[in-house]
Amino acid sequence: MSLMQPSASISSTSSAFLGQSTNNSRISKVSVPASAKKNEIFKCMATPPSDTTVYKTKVSRNANMAKLQAGYLFPEIARRKAAHMMKYPDAQVISLGIGDTTEPIPEVITSAMAQRSHALSTLEGYSGYGDGQGDKKMIKFCWVVYIFHIYLYIPQPPPNFFCKMQLRAAIASAFYGKLGIEESDIFVSDGAKCDISRLQILLGSSVTMAVQDPSYPAYVDSSVIMGQTGQFQKDVEKYRNIEYMRCSPENGFFPNLSTVRPTDVIFFCSPNNPTGSAATREQLIRLVQFAKENGSIIVYDSAYAMYISDDRPRSIFEIPGAKEVAIETVSFSKYAGFTGVRLGWTVVPKELLFSDGFPVAKDFNRIVCTCFNGASNISQTGGLACLSPEGIKAMHDVVSFYKENTKIIMDTFNSLGFKVQGGEHAPYVWVHFPGRSSWDVFAEILEKIHLVTTPGSGFGPGGEGFIRVSAFGHRGNVLEACKRLKQLYN
């Protein structure tokens, strides 16, 4: 029986699962506290229709949560898509909205995860909590896999691959080989979005922040939740206390730093979500200089670095001096299709210090030890397989596939006379609809051609007048989407 379907006979399981007590006995032995009010205790069983007493705790709602204006952007897109599908049950809705990967993960990676999963049911291969012993077991496991490969005549990675088997070491080598970032600077996680919140917890409520405008919503939203911001100002669609660094066609999608108010923290994403723009080396040198002059910390999100098409920097640490001003957060999501598998990392260099000289990495380590318990060991094994020579090639193939999608989408909008940005160094195309509300354009595209996109204003006021089209999709769907766009806008 496939265990991936919920069991039909679940009802008999609980007594075996929980031990001696049967289901019925869990409730029948309940006694009613004498002092409790009758109508509240029996509320769930037989509430009189006229009883409108709703019990409330005396715990104040977190005022920061109240500042958030709406739900998080992407669940809202999903909700609209679902509503649309209810309205048009026969429509073939194509999703180029939420940036969710669609192509299968290459087998060299999933077979490693399958083998690790299986190994967890063996004495030699079982491992518990991550650090220390977990790593040792992973090394042992990798050797088992290596020998296994020999007997199955599966193409083997070269022996020296197994010399550096721990994931942090592999990341340091693959991504930061010549940049002086060491294994101990790397913190493996369950993804960049989670890391952003952990970084916010680290930084606390008293710091000020700057973001690009538009930007990935998690930076602003997590900042609001942490209490770094003031209230939302409806007229300008900005939170007080956040410095919004406009990125637009007028400034080549790189902020004019001479007009940016200095803040403690600068969130910078390049290649950029949503605009697709990737900063040049010269621009990043200026950014690092700006941070240095103002004593700021850059939180650099390079989740799309593998999509870069030329020789512009793939890591902030390619810029001299960056180690003293920057943290970098990255993810396997968009390289290996790990959006559901959950794996990423953050680099906090030893040289990065708070104003009192205390190393930021020490505090981040404390956060990671206290507020987190490691990425799944199976996901980590997948990550390690991603960084084998075969795995790296496989990731490049996946990225190339999505880049080809991006090109098709870009060409479509270009042919229709739209001004587009992005697409060259990122799996996103940023399309300008001058003078139009982005939510209106989103709704129109969804209604008329059953295509989901993301309205630019969801990424900040600087996104108004733009639509983000993501390039993640099966080739057939992307081609069909482009056909429909041509019909709509010709």
Site for other proteins in 206-235 (CB under 8 A): 206-207, 217-218, 221-222, 225-227
Size of the site for other proteins (CB under 8 A): 147
CA dist 110 and 148 (Å) reads: 16
Map the footprint of other proteins across residues 67-86, applying CB under 8 A. 68, 71-72, 74-75
Taking contact as CB under 8 A, which single stretch among the options 50-58, 83-91, 459-467, 477-485 is the one that binds other proteins? Answer: 50-58
What CA–CA distance (Å, rounded) separates 319 from 290? 13
Pairing of strands 238-239, 232-233: antiparallel
Q: C-beta of 48: minimal distance to other proteins in Å?
A: 17
Which residues from 85-124 bind other proteins, rule CB under 8 A? 98, 100-107, 109-111, 113-114, 117-118, 120-123
The residue (of 145 and 420) whose beta carbon lies closer to other proteins is: 145
Among 125, 214, 455, 458, binds other proteins (CB under 8 A): 125
Give the span between the Cα atoms of 127 and 121, in whole angstroms.
10
3-state secondary structure of 168: helix
Quote the tokens at residue 338: 């790990």
Site for other proteins in 355-384 (CB under 8 A): 355-359, 362-363, 365-367, 369-379, 382
Does 39 sit near other proteins (CB under 8 A)?
no
Residues 130-149 that bind other proteins (CB under 8 A): 130-135
Least distance from other proteins to the Cβ atom of residue 366, Å: 6
Given a contact cutoff of 8 angstroms between Cβ atoms, the answer to whether 188 and 375 are in contact is yes
Q: Which is nearer to other proteins, 302 or 377 (CB)?
A: 377
Rounded Cα gap, residues 412 and 293, in angstroms: 43
Q: Which residue has the tokens 């098709």?
A: 408
Residue in 44, 46, 150, 163 binding other proteins, rule: CB under 8 A: 44
* Of the candidate residues 39, 41, 251, 488, the single one contacting other proteins (CB under 8 A): 41
Q: How many beta carbons lie within 10 A of that of residue 144, not counting itself?
A: 15
Nearer to other proteins, 37 or 281 (CB): 37
From residue 249 to residue 278, the character string flagging contacts with other proteins as x (rule: CB under 8 A) and all else as - is ---------------xx-------------
Nearer to other proteins, 245 or 398 (CB): 398
Nearest to 131 by CA among 389, 390, 459, 380: 380
DSSP 426: S
Cβ atoms of 202 and 363 within 8 Å: the answer is yes
β-bridge partners, 300: 268, 328
Within 313-332, which residues bind other proteins (CB under 8 A)? 321, 324-325
Residue 388's nearest CA partner among 125, 113, 174 is: 174
